[in-house]
Structure 1
Amino acid sequence: MTVRHTPRERLSLERRTIEVIPDAERHGTPRSQFTLWFGANMQITAIVDGALSVVFGADALWAIPALLIGNVLGGIVMALHSAQGPRLGVPQMISSRAQFGVHGAVLPLLLVILMYLGFAATGSVLAGQAMSELLHIDDARIGILVFGVLTAVVAVTGYRLIHAAGRVATVAGVLGLGYLLVRVFTQYDVGAHVGNKGFETATFLLAVGLGAGWQLTFGPYVADYSRYLPRDTSTRATFWSTFAGSVIGSQWAMTLGALTAAVAGKAFLTDQVGFLGDLAGPAALAFLVYLVIVVGKLTVNCLNAYGGFMSILTTVTAFDGRSRISTTARAAYIVGFTTVSVGIALAASADFLNNFKNFVLLILMVFTPWSAINLVDYYLVSRERVDVPALYDPAGRYGRWNVTALTCYVVGVAVQIPFLATKLYTGAITKKLDGADISWIVGLAVTAALYWIWVRRTADPPAETVRPVADTDDGDRSAAPVA
């Protein structure tokens, strides 16, 4: 049953954190997942991600379909994570305790927190530049600080306001990025800059990896935003709404990025935000484009701050046994996370594009095995049957540490090393492949196969999903199976 909320309720502070969302508080439809993920992807960092494929050697004619392949493949994995939200009603990294153990899930969690900080910081750099243009301030650092305050306010308010920001970003993104795409074709001879290079396997696979990596990085927190949906929400509807929003939004932005990098060259490389403002034309339209950039980045940066807070809390509570904290403590976590990300943004290197590419590929390396283990276990081994109360109990069904999952995870990361192609390290096999990076494909396949073979005969999932019967403010919980 869908619950409707008044405007005042939509702006009220969220009180739930990592605990199970009771059925009485479930609300919304899968459509909300489309607007959230479409809006979160129609933003400048996705434009930069698409531009990287051209900056590092691919012709836009080949980069755009390669990015689409990566977005589709990564989007399938990402949306499969999202589909777990309504069924379980818990944050994504809490559900990973079913695979790694209550304490064991902390290992990938620490990497997740670093990922959130990295994306929040890089996003703040670009959004801060746009904010400075809006405010007519020469010092971009002030823009970064103002943007950080906005991020903290929305993230502290929580789930409903974040979804509202996604709806606004959807409309703003369609209008703003649609207009910029038209301007690229009207201001430049696109045909003269596209199709000048032949197909190159290495750069094509780099573009596929950039698209896939972009999508896979949403995996550790995508269910955080579907967990409030009613428990009887169609799994397929959740999957397709999330998949369509994320893939269409990201591909639109990345296509704009690839074409812009192709026609503009160094003019775009030195000042991505400023170039898009100039591309918009008259000052009034440039102002609106800067506003679109801020709105899009605000949506996704709130996801990073909210997800970072949830991951930190999941890590801490794995050892102290809590499943909820006070509203004040919740706000303090989010403000603290945002402060650190802003500090990183203020100290960011000038070599933004190269560092961002290596950051995305490194994150892809460490999260591909996690996704493989989570999805194989949930859909193939446990067949969507989870003992939800045991996710909070180190002495329960899932225990403290799952050596099998942790071993598979480490193997999944290690097996990718010979296939890496980054600034810091190029694997031996990658050199023989002329620099083509297929590490994420190897990591996904090897981890999934190893975990499936190892676990399928020893797994002990419940006969039916077990969920809390009662979820009251005093923490009283009892459990019963549910079909």
Structure 2
Amino acid sequence: MSTRTLTETRRLGVETTGIEIIDESERTARPRDLFWPWFAANVSVFGISYGSYVLGFGISFWQAVLVTVVGVVASFALCGIIAIAGKRGSAPTMITSRAAFGVTGQKVPGVISWLVSIGWETFLAIMATLATATIFSQLGWGGGTTTKVVAMLVVAALIVSASVAGYHIIMRLQSVLTWVTGIATIVYVALTLGHVSWSAVTSVKPGPFQAVIGALVMVMTGFGLGWINIAADWSRYQRRDASGAAIVGWNTFGGAIAPTLLVIYGLTLAGSDQKLADGIANDPIGTLGTILPTWFLLPFLVSAILALVSGAVLGIYSSGLTLLSLGVRIPRPTAAFVDGVLLTLGTIWVVFFAQSFLGPFQSFLITLGVPLAAWAGIMIADLVLRKRDYDDDALFDPRGRYGAFDWTSIGTMVVTSVFGWGLVINTFAQDASWNNWQGFLLGPLGLGGKDGTWAYANLGVIAALVLGFVITLVLRRGTVARQEGR
């Protein structure tokens, strides 16, 4: 960061640094600092709702506990590995990824990353708006159009203002939100323990192996893999001599500890009350509020909204950086504001106008999860192969050592994505029939077709991740060695 930029940051409190390399003098963050943004973004009562989704695969409580622990921890560990790229390159995730895909070729995964970030953060804003309407209705304050408009404006304002302010303010904000949302979540658990029926929870029969795999993939996608494309954005201020293992550890601990405990508690609630489990599918946060005493509904709503906002802020901040990495020449705060406006428009459309948009919207985002997993496998393998830090200048020069296009990585991403799409099915077939082409390999590969036992295992996500990693590890070993002059 230049002296002028540093002065502006201190004076205005707004980070003006975009995708450029962070100056050594500004790389003062420590690995343990990563705990705050990841914990704050994931200590949400929304995590409790995942208990219903996991049991929805027809597995037992103990199978679900295993799925939760393995899925959440493993997915955030992968996220932590990607975070090492931020330390090595002092640049956002989609800039360091240029070493694997080429400076220009990186735009292929960059576009997908941008769409995923905008989509999921819009989804969080939608949930916050709908939850407000539900809770206000329970309080007898009205949950109609006026309530939704005000809620949407407040949520959008919080997300956009924080993401525009940038890294330094977001880090301070997340440390505060950690305590607020964490305490409220503990109170929620204390007030709802009486709704848990241990006998009902443990009486649920075990499900088949395919269902366990399906639940595992859903948990991994919903947690760590959902953040993996922005992981290095929060580690680019780390000192160059920071321990890679410590970065992975704090990233994993901060991201995984809260959702692991919350999902397990959600398993006990959903396993105790089928009506509660069914309601969570349509309005997760509002339904979780139905078992609370009236006096705690408002604090519950505030903490839930803040937790959703916390997650959305990380996403919008990073989507702005991704937009810049695609070649859009505007200041970083402007990029974050543009993405915030898109988020607001998307929320308005879904909440007030769309009749059947949510299903197609989710189907579209889940579809993008396959190429994102393929990118993650390629990126992780590239990190494993590298022995040195990135060449900062070459990350911005198509004629540099990383070149304009790495056709091996691009081809690997395309092939593994197509293969992955062949092993997943469209779970919103009625609302998004245009996506029913997926799952075309389930029959030919002897997995029972689209109606078979493997249909809902979502093997394509794991397949794309693993194949992307293995193919890159084998085919790009020599390329990486040449790039590093070895």
TM-score band (shorter)?
A: 0.7 to 0.9
Work out whether residues 141 and 346 of structure 1, in 8 Å CA contact, stay in contact via their aligned partners in 2. Answer: no
Q: Distance in 1 between matches of 2:125 and 2:353?
A: 10
- What is aligned with 1:447? 468
Q: Distance in 1 between matches of 2:88 and 2:105?
A: 23
Tell whether 2:383 aligns with 1:371: no
Alpha-carbon shift at residue 61 of structure 1 (Å): 3.2
Deviations, residues 436-460 of structure 1 (Å, cap 9, x unaligned): 3322222222222212221113332
Q: Distance in 2 between matches of 1:104 and 1:184?
A: 51
Fraction of identical pairs, as percent: 23
Question: For 1:177-326, what aligned pairs fall within 5 Å after superposition?
Answer: 177-213=185-221, 214-262=223-271, 263=273, 264-283=276-295, 285-317=296-328, 325-326=330-331
Give the 3 Å change call, closer, same or farther, for CA 326–349 of structure 1 in structure 2: closer
Q: Distance in 2 between matches of 1:286 and 1:74?
A: 32
Alpha-carbon shift at residue 363 of structure 1 (Å): 3.7
- What is aligned with 1:103? 104
Larger % of helix: which? 2
What CA RMSD, in Å, does the superposition of the two structures yield over aligned residues? 2.8
Q: Distance in 1 between matches of 2:242 and 2:479?
A: 31
Work out whether residues 33 and 242 of structure 1, in 8 Å CA contact, stay in contact via their aligned partners in 2. Answer: yes
- What is aligned with 1:467? none
- What is aligned with 1:63? 64
Deviations, residues 400-454 of structure 1 (Å, cap 9, x unaligned): 1111110011111122233213324433244354433322222222222212221
Q: 1:438 aligns with which of 446, 459, 472?
A: 459
Work out whether residues 113 and 312 of structure 1, in 8 Å CA contact, stay in contact via their aligned partners in 2. Answer: yes
Range with bigger deviation, 75-84 or 179-188: 179-188
Which residue identity does 1:246 align to in structure 2? G
Which secondary structure does the structure 1 equivalent of 2:341 belong to? helix
Deviations, residues 294-325 of structure 1 (Å, cap 9, x unaligned): 111111101111111111111125xxxx6xx4
Tell whether 2:405 aligns with 1:401: yes
* Runs of 5+ consecutive residues of structure 1 not aligned to the other structure: 465-483
Q: Distance in 1 between matches of 2:476 and 2:326?
A: 25
- What is aligned with 1:421? 425
Give the 3 Å change call, closer, same or farther, for CA 50–188 of structure 1 in structure 2: closer
Count of aligned positions: 451
Q: Distance in 2 between matches of 1:43 and 1:355?
A: 25
- What is aligned with 2:25? 24
Work out whether residues 13 and 156 of structure 1, in 8 Å CA contact, stay in contact via their aligned partners in 2. Answer: yes
Q: Distance in 1 between matches of 2:112 and 2:325?
A: 13
* Runs of 5+ consecutive residues of structure 2 not aligned to the other structure: 1-5, 428-435
Tell whether 2:477 aligns with 1:456: yes
Deviations, residues 51-109 of structure 1 (Å, cap 9, x unaligned): 32223433333223212211122122110011222221100000011111111111111
Q: Distance in 2 between matches of 1:376 and 1:348?
A: 44
- What is aligned with 1:479? none
Q: Distance in 2 between matches of 1:310 and 1:458?
A: 27
Alpha-carbon shift at residue 270 of structure 1 (Å): 4.2
Work out whether residues 419 and 437 of structure 1, in 8 Å CA contact, stay in contact via their aligned partners in 2. Answer: yes
Work out whether residues 81 and 222 of structure 1, in 8 Å CA contact, stay in contact via their aligned partners in 2. Answer: yes
Q: Distance in 2 between matches of 1:353 and 1:212?
A: 21
Work out whether residues 49 and 280 of structure 2, in 8 Å CA contact, stay in contact via their aligned partners in 1. Answer: no
* TM-score, normalisation: structure 1: 0.85
Which secondary structure does the structure 2 equivalent of 1:220 belong to? helix
Work out whether residues 120 and 304 of structure 1, in 8 Å CA contact, stay in contact via their aligned partners in 2. Answer: yes
